[in-house]
């Protein structure tokens, strides 16, 4: 698999480290009532066949954390964007 790092260009997958689901958003509430949201954030993951956005670090390159969208069925990589640029403001 090849990943188009926005900083380093297209590089082989061995240079990258996968973390997982990039669609989850860290809750901001510290109230006990928000515990369900926290449980979902820490543990609950979809396992889709098809497009999936994942946090991936270019650990053997520029070390930037990226959001890589790929098709889990075909392994086709659709995009790789710096996580910093992707971050959805709550």
Partner 1 sequence: MSGFRIARGGLIDRSANLNFKFDGKSFTGHQGDTLASALIANGVHLMGRSFKYHRPRGVISAGASEPNALVELREGARREANTRATIVELYDGLTAQSQNRWPSLENDFLAINSLASSIFVAGFYYKTFMWPKSFWEKIYEPLIRKAAGLGTASKEADPDTYEKAYAHCDLLVIGSGPSGLMAARTAARSGARVILADEGSALGGSLLFENEEIDGTTGSTFAQAVISELASMPNVTLMPRTTIFGWFDGNIFGGLERVNDHVAVPPPFEPRQRYWRVHAKRAVLAAGAEERPLVFGGNDVPGVMLASAMRHYANRYGAAAGKSISVFTNNASAQRTAVDLQAHGINIAAVVDTRKNGKIINVKGGKSVKSVSLADGSHFECDAVAMSGGWSPIVNLMCHRGAKPIWNETIAAFTPPDMGSQFTAIGSASGKMLLSECLRGGIAAGTFKGKTPPTPKCRDEAFAIQPFWWVKESTGKAFIDYQNDATAKDLPLANREGYGHVELAKRYTTTGMATDQGKLGNVNAIAILAEAAGKSISEMGTTTFRPMYTPVSFGAFAGPFTGHHFQPVRKTPLHEWCVEQGAVFVETGLWMRSSWFPKAGEDWLTSASREVKATRANVGLCDVSTLGKIDIQGKDAGTFLDKIYCNTFSTLSIGKARYGLMLREDGVVFDDGTTSRLADDHYLMTTTTANAARVMSHIEFCHQALWPEMDVQYVSVTEQWAQMAIAGPKSRATLQKIVDSFTLNDETTPYLVAKDITILGGLTARLFRISFSGEHAYELAVPADHGNMVARAIMQAGQEFGIVPYGVEALSIMRIEKGHVAGGELNGTTTAGDLGLGKMMSTKKDFIGRMMATREGMVDAARQCVVGIKPVDKTMKIRSGGHLLNQNDKPSMANDQGYICSVAWSPMLNMWLGLALLSNGRARHGEVVKVFDGLRGHHYLGEICDPVHFDPKNERLHA
Least distance CB 17 / partner 1 (angstroms): 7
Does 68 participate in binding partner 1 (rule CB under 8 A)?
Answer: no
Does 44 participate in binding partner 1 (rule CB under 8 A)?
Answer: no
Does 7 participate in binding partner 1 (rule CB under 8 A)?
Answer: no
Q: How far is CA 8 from the centre of its chain?
A: 18
Question: Given the rule CB under 8 A, which residues bind partner 1?
Answer: 1-2, 12-13, 17, 19, 22, 26-28, 30, 32, 34-35, 38, 41-43, 55, 57, 59, 63-65, 74-75, 82-84, 87
């Amino acid at each position: 698999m090849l990943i188009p790092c926005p900083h380093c260009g297209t590089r082989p997958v061995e240079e990258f480290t996968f973390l997982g689901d990039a669609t989850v958003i860290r809750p901001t509430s510290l109230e006990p009532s928000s515990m369900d949201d926290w449980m979902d954030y820490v543990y609950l993951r979809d396992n889709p066949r098809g497009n999936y956005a994942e946090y991936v670090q270019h650990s053997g390159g520029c070390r930037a954390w990226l959001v890589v969208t790929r098709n889990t069925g075909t392994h086709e990589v659709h995009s790789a964007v710096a996580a910093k640029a992707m971050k959805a403001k709550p």
